[in-house]
Amino acid sequence: MRLDPSEPATGPMPTYEDRGDVGYRKSLGNLQIQMIAIGGAIGVGLFLGVGQRLAAAGPALVLAYLVVSVVVYLMMRALGEMVIYRPTTGAWVSYAREFVSDRLAFMTGWIHVTLAAVAGVAEIAALAVYVQYWWPDLPGWIPSLVAALTIVGCNLLSVKWFGAIELGASSVKVLAILLFLAAGVVLVVAGDVFHAPTTASISHLWADGGFAPSGLLPLLVVLGGVVFSFSAIETVGVSAGEAADPARSMPRAINSVVLRIGLFYLGSILVLSLLLPADRYSGDESPFVTALASLNIPGIAGIMNFVVLTAAISGVNATLYSSVRVLRNMAAHGQAPRATVWVSSRGVPAGAILSVLGVYLLGIVLIYALGASAAFEVILSACAVFILFGWISILVSHLGYRRAVARGRAHAVDFRLPGAPATNVIALVFLGAVALYIMVDQSNPHWYYSLIAGVVIVVGTNVGYEFSKRHVHRNGLPDVGATARSRDAEPESVRRG
């Protein structure tokens, strides 16, 4: 049911029903939701991507993460407000459809599906880098292929398998980061206070050129990498559609975003800067492994490499989950191939999962051609502008939701974005400026990937929308009820879309 903002609100308040939610099972528990939120907030952007950016910007990198973190928090609160209003597996795509337009929903959906699928390839490439720490002569495409097939296979079984993988992998990386932060502080105190023989020192923050050894310009150059670090943080919004108790679990998950960002990202960058001079890091291996290897403790670097390996697994798992749910939601509205509307008897969007697997296999060919580390950087350069557009769409949809509430066409919730709509505008201006800068920043050797991606976003999604609209007009919407015959009959109001 669509809401027409031009009509006065009369009678009982209408309820928007998304046909893309038919066939799923609400089986994700509160702990799993919390770990999905953590899994989205902490991924390969921290465990691998920070190394190269720390070498380029120095300890001042923490400022870039601080600014982006504030904007990310505002975006997540806006998403959280809409999630509490109406939990759905379509998440921001469904909200764009309800509060803005079908065109924005199409653009947002395909951008996210492309982003999540390509980001999954980046995670797979990073995973290969970690495995090569132990077996440097092993071709990167082999561990990438094994990981892709294993994770896709588990997600085909049931959503509980997805939740189990995320719970286990997120628990490992959270515990490891906490231990790393504690150990880093102990080493700094031991070296600076008790003069123990360690390279750790607070003086690394201003030594060798200072806090920002190359000035503040590198902070702009690395913004694409900083944005990519948070690329899957909104995944928790998708999980609301399969949460057993979203009203309880979602506010907790989203409210803790600021704590996780502050502790894990800002804390990790500061501790890494204290353990070694910034120029000792690179993109060839995880900065955590580099820092721990400098301690010359047998086996410690290998243990940390295992931890970052689990983080990559968690990242692939999270991006696969969100991309297939959004893809299936779009298919239910005639905006994606009909094959991707298929939901198995286990409540899994199997058609969409197999389609994303195809993208992963193409990515593995890229890894084979370029090598895992080079493939990761190329993918990252192309992804940043996609991420920014998705966040912009969330903030725009939230403005539409607030207008619907003011006109009596949607109900308000207690969990709200502070300072809206002013905070929406501030975040939108920042994100728009960053997107433009990334697309024309010629200091980045891969800058034109973002420019190409931006053109593809505008042209490709608009052409695709016109094609899908005509296709639906001729052939109608797919029968989503037929995708879940083992479930209860689909409500007539949902079939009408």
Q: What is d(CA 282, CA 480) in angstroms, rounded to the nearest whole number?
A: 48
What average pLDDT score do residues 386-409 get?
Answer: 93
What average pLDDT score do residues 138-167 get?
Answer: 86
Residue 110 half-sphere exposure, CB side, CA atoms within 13 Å? 22
Q: What is d(CA 495, CA 497) in angstroms, rounded to the nearest whole number?
A: 5
Q: What is d(CA 266, CA 51) in angstroms, rounded to the nearest whole number?
A: 14
Contact between 19 and 497 (Cβ < 8 Å): yes
Q: What is the mean pLDDT of the chain?
A: 82
Distances (CA, A) of 385 to 231, 374, 437, 440: 11, 19, 10, 11
Q: What is d(CA 56, CA 198) in angstroms, rounded to the nearest whole number?
A: 24
Query: CA angle 49-54-59, nearest 5°?
Result: 140
Residue 375's pLDDT band (cuts 50, 70, 90): low
Distances (CA, A) of 474 to 119, 340, 372: 34, 19, 44
146: which DSSP letter? H
pLDDT of residue 482: 53
Residue boundaries of the structural domains of the chain: 25-475
Flag the least confident range among 10-14, 423-427, 443-447, 451-455.
Answer: 10-14
Q: What percentage of the chain exceeds 90 in pLDDT?
A: 26
DSSP 223-269: HHHHHHHTTTTTHHHHHGGGBS-HHHHHHHHHHTHHHHIIIIIIHHH
Q: What is d(CA 31, CA 169) in angstroms, rounded to the nearest whole number?
A: 13
Contact between 323 and 117 (Cβ < 8 Å): yes
Instruction: Retrieve residue 96's tokens.
Output: 């764009």
Summarised one tens digit per residue, pLDDT across range 229-261 is 787 788 888 888 888 888 888 888 887 766 777
pLDDT at residue 200 greater than cutoff 70: yes
25-475 maps to CATH 1.20.1740.10: yes
What average pLDDT score do residues 442-459 get?
Answer: 72
